[in-house]
């Protein structure tokens, strides 16, 4: 199956607001599967459709150690969040950079499954943080938006410079431990 191309900050397409999904069909299943494959291949724990230039409210996540617990969340929304924590984050769209941001350690959320069935669930720890990070993507927001403008601009310049040299950013560190 085909891998999808991940957009890199500061690509303006990462600032788009994703549209709500209303059609649940085989094309949507295929998109979910391709996003999971792309995420696994990049050693990620989460990926939002916006990151592969698809303006739909779909995110995929797997925070399991065994890398065999895929989650597909459609039209996800947070309905309750408690317990602020600091989280060291990275992002497949900001390769090679990691910063501390503030998140909630516990959330209650709502989402549709791949068949369009709406449900609510709760999450804590890394999964809760990952859901918050990915929902931000659907609203055009990146983790670097929580750090200083100076740091953010430096990161943007470094990524652009590496790209202009045709280099890929080193990816041996991952911004989480599972």
CA distances from 118 to 57, 101, 110 (A): 14, 30, 7
- Residues 117 and 155: their CA atoms lie apart, in Å, by 40
Per CB under 6 A, the list member of 45, 71, 73, 138 interacting with ligand QAP is 45
Element (H, E) at 60: strand 58-61
At its nearest, how many Å lie between ligand QAP and the CB of residue 72? 15
**SS3 for 28?**
helix
134 is catalytic: yes
Q: Do the Cβ atoms of 21 and 66 come closer than 8 Å? A: no
Per CB under 5 A, the segment of 3-11, 78-86, 90-98, 165-173 that binds Co ion is 90-98
Chain centre to alpha carbon of residue 49: 8
CA dist 104 to 10, 86, 116, 132, Å?
26, 8, 27, 8
Report what 80 binds from Co ion, ligand QAP, none; CB cut-off 5-8 Å by kind: none
Q: Which residues in 117-176 contact ligand QAP (CB under 6 A)?
A: 129-130, 133, 171, 173-176
Q: Which is nearer to ligand QAP, 56 or 133 (CB)?
A: 133
Interface map 85-104 toward ligand QAP (x if CB under 6 A): --x-xxxx--xx--------
Stretch that binds ligand QAP, among 9-17, 26-34, 83-91, 104-112 (CB under 6 A): 83-91
Asked if residue 143 lies in contact with residue 102, where contact means CB atoms within 8 angstroms, the answer is no
Which residue is closest to ligand QAP by CB? 44
Of 124, 134, 153, 160, catalytic = 134
Residues noted as catalytic? 134
Q: Which residues bind ligand QAP (CB under 6 A)?
A: 43-46, 87, 89-92, 95-96, 129-130, 133, 171, 173-176
């Amino acid at each position: 199956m085909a891998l999808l191309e991940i957009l890199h900050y500061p690509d303006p397409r990462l600032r788009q607001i994703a549209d709500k999904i209303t059609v649940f069909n085989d094309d949507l299943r295929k998109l979910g599967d391709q996003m999971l494959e792309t995420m696994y291949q990049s050693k990620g724990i989460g990926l939002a459709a916006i990151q592969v230039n698809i303006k739909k409210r779909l995110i995929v996540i797997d925070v399991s150690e065994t890398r065999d617990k895929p989650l597909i969340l459609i039209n996800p929304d947070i309905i309750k969040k408690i317990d602020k924590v600091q989280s060291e984050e990275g992002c497949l769209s900001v390769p090679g950079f990691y910063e501390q941001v503030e998140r909630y350690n516990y959330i209650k959320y709502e989402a549709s499954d791949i068949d369009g069935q709406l449900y609510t669930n709760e999450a804590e720890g890394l999964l809760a943080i990952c859901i918050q990070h990915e929902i931000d993507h659907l609203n055009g927001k990146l983790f670097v938006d929580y750090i200083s403008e100076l740091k953010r601009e430096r990161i943007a310049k470094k990524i652009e410079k590496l790209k202009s040299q045709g280099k890929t950013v080193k990816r041996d560190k991952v911004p989480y431990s599972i």
